[in-house]
Amino acid sequence: MKILLQHKCTLQYVQTVDAWTQRETDAYNFAHSENAIGFAHDHELTDVYVTVKFPGNEPGVSVPLPMKSLLPPRASW
């Protein structure tokens, strides 16, 4: 299973801090949803999904992140 961040409009995935990619295989795997949420918060990303991709041809699941103002402080992330 992979945990990715995907832009809502372009459908590109985070690859590095400064790069996005169309290819799921080149995307950064955050391993845990908390890591993906923390990254999005720290880098002030908006309009992104946390996307869970399963092995094989099983469909993935995408969950939109709340707007920054709705996110809790990153005290213990």
Q: What is the pLDDT of residues 1-42, one digit of tens each?
A: 999 999 999 999 999 999 999 999 999 999 999 999 999 989
What CA–CA distance (Å, rounded) separates 34 from 54? 18
pLDDT, tens digit, 9 for 90 and up, residues 31-57:
999 999 999 989 989 899 999 999 887
Q: Order across the sheet with 2-7: list the strands.
A: 19-21, 13-16, 2-7, 48-53, 61-64
Question: In sequence order, which residues have a C-beta less than 8 Å from that of residue 17 and are 6 or more positions away?
Answer: 43
Per-residue pLDDT, 71: 53
The radius of gyration of the chain from alpha carbons, rounded to an integer in Å, stands at: 12
Block residue for tokens 């918060």:
41
Per-residue pLDDT, 69: 45
Query: Which residues are bridge partners to 52 per DSSP?
Result: 3, 61
